[in-house]
Amino acid sequence: MKKRYYGIALLVFLVLMALMYGGSILISFGVVIGGILFAGERGIDMGYNFLMDNPNFFSILIYLICTAIMLPWYYFAFIEKRGVRQTLHAHTRRLSPICFVWVAVLTLAAQHATSLIITFVDLLAPSVINDYMELIETSGMENYSILWAVATLILPPILEETVFRGLILQYLGKTGAKFFVANIIQAVLFGIFHMNLAQGIYTFFFGLLLGYLAYRYDSILAPMVMHFFYNLFGTALVDLEARFLPEFVQGLLVLGSVPLLAIVLVAIHFRFGEKKTTVTGGEHTL
């Protein structure tokens, strides 16, 4: 019976993908129809231009559609039976102020390590990176605004952590699979979710880190925080570094990211700086 949870985990992923792309088609169709009703044939171009000029708004609508389905799924699957208060306690009992410091430093290292991955992929397949850079330019990730903050920093961490480190990782845990197996599976799905080879490669490794944090702290709040920082560092911080830091300093940050990543992971694993407390119940329930 436990094996059926593999199928449920896959179903979660397929539903998310269907919502993402179905929602995109639905919104595009609705904007075109609205444009036609408002301005006739000219409304088609007006609707298309509106979506192209407002990618963050478009992204917010898609993520809201997905969140409206996936959050209730998570609630009824893993929260309803034990209650909101008990669930909140379970998600926060292993968290401490120092853990968020480690998460921030880990994210900083992971973000710079991403540059190494991008460089390596560029050496092997330059066309892949060219496609990736075109995607970034049209995604609205560099158009800083309130809409950008919602579309980049708030909704993706909430939705994606609920789905991948919440629903999928927990369903995989119910199969009886060892954590490292479940973590690899959810990270692979996380990479596929981004539907871009370059992004898929580095988000696979990022997904492994997020999955480890979810397991280590028995909470999806820690990976949500890391996801927030990762998106923030990958946009605003990278721009600031490119603007104010010499290239050799940027290079040192990238080269130092791997040893820093290892050091912080060791600190997190052995709970450096954390108050040693005994957590009852060995089961990890996100």
Task: Give the tens place of pLDDT for each residue, 189-200.
Answer: 999 999 999 999
Q: What is the pLDDT of residue 32?
A: 79
- Residue 278, phi then psi, degrees to nearest 5: -95, 125
Q: What is the mean pLDDT of residues 107-125?
A: 94
Token pair 């830091």 in the structure block, residue: 245
Helices (H) and strands (E) in the chain, counts: 15, 0
105 Cβ contact partners less than 8 Å away, ≥ 6 residues apart: 260, 264
Beta strands per DSSP E along 194-260: none
CB neighbour list of residue 94: distance below 8 Å, 6 or more residues apart: 216, 217, 218, 219, 279
Model confidence over 60-75: pLDDT tens digits? 999 999 999 999 999 9
- pLDDT for 278 equals 47
* pLDDT classification of 281: cutoffs 50, 70, 90: very low
* The pLDDT of residue 153: 96
Angle at 131 between CA 133 and CA 140, to 5 degrees: 45
CB 227 within 8 A of CB 98: no
Q: Are 202 and 194 in contact (CB under 8 A)?
A: no
Per-residue pLDDT of 122-172, as tens digits, reads: 999 999 999 888 888 878 777 899 999 999 999 999 999 999 999 999 999
pLDDT > 70 fraction of the chain, expressed in percent and rounded: 96
Q: Mean pLDDT throughout 243-264?
A: 95
Among the listed residues 140, 116, 102, the one whose alpha carbon sits nearest the alpha carbon of residue 198: 116
Query: What token pair was written down for 25?
Result: 């088609």
Distance set, CA 113 to CA 6, 81, 158, 192, 228 (Å): 31, 40, 23, 20, 17
Look over the chain and give the mean of its residue pLDDT values, rounded to a whole number: 91
Neighbours of 180 (CB within 10 A): 12
Contact between residue 145 and residue 56 where contact means Cβ atoms under 8 Å apart:
yes
- Please compute the mean of the pLDDT values over residues 1-10 and round it to a whole number: 93
Q: What is the mean pLDDT of residues 14-33?
A: 92
- Give the number of C-alpha atoms closer than 13 A to the C-alpha of residue 42, restricted to the C-beta side: 2
Residue whose tokens read 């409304």: 43
Alpha helix ranges (H) inside the chain: 4-39, 42-53, 55-74, 84-92, 97-124, 126-139, 146-148, 155-160, 169-174, 179-193, 197-216, 221-232, 238-244, 247-255, 257-269
Supply 258's token pair. Answer: 């791997």
pLDDT band at 279 (very low <50, low <70, confident <90, very high): very low
Residue 48 confidence (pLDDT)? 77
Q: 1 in helix, strand or coil?
A: coil
**pTM for this structure?**
0.93
Look at phi and psi of residue 195 and say left if phi exceeds 0, alpha if psi is from -120 to 50, else beta: left
Confidence of residue 42 (pLDDT cuts 50, 70, 90): confident
pLDDT value for 276: 61
